[in-house]
Amino acid sequence: MSTREEVVLGFLRTCIDRRFVAESRHAFEQFTGLMPTDYWHESYAGGSALPPPNTIGEDYVVKNGARFLGWQAHIDGCGGIPGARDEDIERMLDQRIQLMLEKYPTTHQFRHFRILASNSGINIREVHHPK
């Protein structure tokens, strides 16, 4: 665990595609300043572009202090969303993130990060609820 006085905790949901998991984790850590043991990681086919099979993970981590929330999906052929075009996956990711912004509002000290992985690299940015 980090030696910082007050540890900020996080949560990262990614697709299980092995091409992008390690790089996505690294980008999340670099962008947020979190250490590998400062956040929970949940991974399943389709990542954050799809609704989770259940919300047990996200509910647990938020209840236990996660405030940095990372939502990842990838383009360039997602096996969890067979046949989906890259544009469709991006749109689905953005729609899911909007739902997460409503469920865990930034007004309650939550910070959300959109992570789009591809064969070209990792694109990560902080997102806010539209005013």
Give me the domains of the chain, ranges plus CATH numbers. Answer: 9-85+101-127 (3.40.1050.10)
pLDDT of residue 131: 61
Residues of the chain with pLDDT under 50: 1-4
pLDDT of residue 2: 45
70: closest CA among 6, 8, 2? 8
Measure the CA–CA gap between 116 and 76, rounded to whole angstroms.
Answer: 11
Q: Which two tokens stand for residue 11?
A: 């949560």
Instruction: Write the DSSP symbol of residue 122.
Output: E
pLDDT of residue 58: 95
Residue 77 sits at the vertex; the CA angle it makes with 96 and 13, to the nearest 5 degrees, is 35
Return the SS3 of 31. helix
pTM of the model: 0.93
Q: Which two tokens stand for residue 91?
A: 């749109």
Instruction: Write the DSSP symbol of residue 75.
Output: -
